[in-house]
Structure 1
């Protein structure tokens, strides 16, 4: 049901930068796929739940984070946001993507959920979500079959990912 492409091709479908960045060394995340995203892509809304910052916006958001919440900026890099005000982070130490639920208030450890996936796997998740939106927009989709396929697809990216993903599309 879901048809994922190579992440390099997927990056090509996102908003592209006008010119390559001069220097990515200021980014504390060393993930090569994340660097490829920053080198090629501008800020991109993949789905309403995943808006990834291009390099300049990431720098601006992380400078603001450092000014107001240095203890968070010391351990996480803000990579994006959702349309609902939640945020996506990458741990420079582990390379995993984390979700921050803004409903928990100012940054607390309880608000962070480590999805335990690399940025590469996060892009696969984003592809699944793009396709899910298309299926949900179809006339009268079979929600039970779609939920089963969605759960199975996320759990092929990482076992248990469907249960850890913070947004619920079916209830």
Structure 2
């Protein structure tokens, strides 16, 4: 999807270059070898970026809400995180760590996300900051708790269910 003729031509030129490089590398390395290595590399990169995307939305205290009463600004700032990444990973991921900025305005190009984040840091105080060490903990927030309107872990869900069972047993 493009907004201007210039974006269309950039996209077309980029696609022609990519396909040209694929053909060149296929001839140079052999098409079977190139497609095998390319497929494995692409699959691994996609898996890593899917995980990064997942943790930027699923963390303790993440804003999630039913459609009724949903707040766009709160959803953008508290429903996605700022993921601090080392410089090399910022480059490889096209600054995906500034995901909350992207949710505020998807038209900001990735090379301007850090500057936008730095200039508006005072407005992003309530945004969650995640670090690389926080990533494994985010994978446990996979259940939606309707009564509390929040994401929860399976362990927390079981603990709450046991508490309810104990209350019912004590009442009986």
Give the TM-score band, short-chain normalised.
under 0.3
- Higher fraction of strand: 1
Q: TM-score, with normalisation over the residues of structure 1?
A: 0.26
TM-score scaled by length of structure 2: 0.26
More helix by share: 2
Find the structure with the greater CA-based Rg: 2
Kindly indicate whether structure 1 or structure 2 has the higher relative contact order, using CA contacts under 8 Å at least 6 residues apart: 2
